[in-house]
Amino acid sequence: MSRDHDAMGRSLVAVTGLGVVTSLGRGVADNWAALTAGRSGIHAITRFPTEGLRTRIAGTVDFIAADPMVAPMLSERFAEAAADEAVAQAGISGDFPGALFMAVPPVEIEWPQRQALAEAAAPNGDVTYADLLRAAGSRRFDDWHDLFIFGTVADRIADRFGTKGSPISLSTACSSGATAIQLGVEAIRRGEVEAALCIGTDGSVNPESLIRFSLLSALSTQNDPPEAASKPFAKNRDGFVMGEGAAALVLESVASARARGARILGYVLGCGEKGDGFHRTRSSPDGAPIIAAIRAAIDDAGLHPDQIDTVNAHGTGTPENDKMEAMGCLAVLGERMRSVPISSNKSMIGHTLTAAGAVEAAFSLLTIAHGRVPPTLNYAVPDPAIPLDVVTAARDVPVRTVLSNSFGFGGQNTCLIFGAEPVR
């Protein structure tokens, strides 16, 4: 069998570049240092007034210039910064020699723009639909056509990096970043491309998003101190904390990476997904879709559950998600799961939503590279119903494989397996 193919005859997929932006900092080095030190990036929101809001904290990225009230603009800036780092690390100059797969938030006109449109349509009130159409067609709002159309962010990133073919924009809720990686892996395995730039990005921390998630009872309301709010797997968890940022991975066929002498950072060994559609926020009570996604990823990697060294948890800190994730991991890995290190970086950066699967993929690869599992903050009150080995201080252990879970609202579940070496 060729050294460039797995046991199923598919092209092995290597990772040759990583880029990360979160509230912990810009770049892989700063993020990894903060993450393993257990430093939180969650803080009080300062970019807009929070009086009257139940949740007033988030893991916002405040050091990259963009209009903080326009999510597509923030998402583009974060993606560009992460991709710049990943492509540079991969040693690629000029146009990117492959396709772009990009996870981006659902796009709609936000409240400041809606207000401006309404005021332009009827300054004295009594706005009609005809007034809105007329105002939207005026020269003043021409730029909105590009800014608030789904896919525009990917178009701009594709132009910036010279990727091949039509850029793919996708949104599968909180599993979106992992889905982008899965699509890149599948394209390389099918032989359609030799390389893929896979990005997850999200800049959605704004009043409207906070209100919407609050109405779903999904957000933590423990605002003080902010860094103690996100409590994955703890008994006193009360919801997730919003975060934002981006991560980019350069994927290549092993043959391509070797041919150009690229440094291989790790491998994407397996991908598994399963949707259930049980409820708009809740998981199926029997855990079947989560179990199926985990099993599919392990099977796709050609591994046995006993070969998983650590789990990078979805770990949102909501009562529902953490319970169902624990159930799924225990069902697949069995009693051994009680001693497999598991950690959730959302305790430090918050839930980066569309970007989460990609950010956590980068952290999974760094875990392998450094042999160090990052901690989960705020695990002071263990939940006896979740009998897992939750890592509370950075732990140095040999790591050859990582299971990284991403479970999205609406039952969109995607799991990835990363490895230090290929499985043949």
User: Same domain, yes or no, for 64 and 124?
Assistant: no
Please tell me the pTM assigned to this model.
Answer: 0.91
Does residue 375 belong to any structural domain of this protein?
yes
User: Same domain, yes or no, for 122 and 266?
Assistant: no
- Please give the pLDDT value at position 114: 60
User: Same domain, yes or no, for 387 and 283?
Assistant: yes
Walk along the chain (424 residues) and give the pLDDT tens digit of each residue: 478 999 889 999 999 999 999 999 999 999 999 999 999 999 999 989 999 999 999 999 999 987 766 667 899 999 999 999 999 999 999 999 999 999 998 766 655 666 665 666 667 667 676 766 666 666 665 565 566 566 689 999 999 999 999 999 999 989 999 999 999 999 999 999 999 999 999 999 988 889 989 998 999 999 999 999 999 999 999 999 999 999 999 999 999 999 999 999 999 999 999 988 776 667 778 889 999 999 999 999 999 999 999 999 999 999 999 999 999 999 999 999 999 999 999 999 999 999 999 999 999 999 999 999 999 999 999 999 999 999 999 999 999 999 999 998 777 899 999 999 988 7
Asked if residues 257 and 220 have their Cβ atoms less than 8 Å apart, the reply is no
Q: ω into residue 225 within 30 of 0, thus cis? A: yes
- Please give the pLDDT value at position 267: 98
Q: In the listed set 146, 164, 193, which residue is the last one of a domain according to the structure?
A: 146
- Please give the pLDDT value at position 284: 78
Residue 94, domain CATH: 3.40.47.10
Q: In the listed set 121, 146, 171, which residue is the last one of a domain according to the structure?
A: 146
Does residue 159 belong to any structural domain of this protein?
yes
Q: Which of 174, 198, 271, 415 is labelled catalytic?
A: 174
Does residue 251 belong to any structural domain of this protein?
yes
- Please give the pLDDT value at position 269: 98
Does residue 424 belong to any structural domain of this protein?
no
- Please give the pLDDT value at position 318: 94
- Report residue 180 CA to chain centroid gap: 10
Query: In the annotation, is 43 catalytic?
Result: no
Q: For the chain, how many structural domains are there in total?
A: 2
User: Same domain, yes or no, for 301 and 206?
Assistant: yes
User: Same domain, yes or no, for 170 and 230?
Assistant: yes
User: Same domain, yes or no, for 283 and 218?
Assistant: yes
Domain extent at residue 129: 111-146
User: Same domain, yes or no, for 121 and 17?
Assistant: no
User: Same domain, yes or no, for 241 and 140?
Assistant: no
Does residue 8 belong to any structural domain of this protein?
no
Query: In the annotation, is 351 catalytic?
Result: yes
Phi, psi of 372 (to 5 degrees): -140, 125
Strand partners, 248: 19, 199
- Please give the pLDDT value at position 408: 85
Query: In the annotation, is 370 catalytic?
Result: no
Q: In the listed set 146, 166, 199, which residue is the last one of a domain according to the structure?
A: 146
User: Same domain, yes or no, for 136 and 254?
Assistant: no
Does residue 4 belong to any structural domain of this protein?
no
User: Same domain, yes or no, for 77 and 121?
Assistant: no
Q: Which of 271, 329, 351, 415 is labelled catalytic?
A: 351
Q: Which of 198, 314, 329, 415 is labelled catalytic?
A: 314
Q: Which of 312, 294, 416, 406 is nearest to 366 (CA)?
A: 312
Asked if residues 322 and 232 have their Cβ atoms less than 8 Å apart, the reply is yes
User: Same domain, yes or no, for 212 and 311?
Assistant: yes
CA atoms of 22 and 347, how far apart (whole Å): 13
Does residue 2 belong to any structural domain of this protein?
no
User: Same domain, yes or no, for 185 and 201?
Assistant: yes
- Please give the pLDDT value at position 277: 74
Does residue 6 belong to any structural domain of this protein?
no
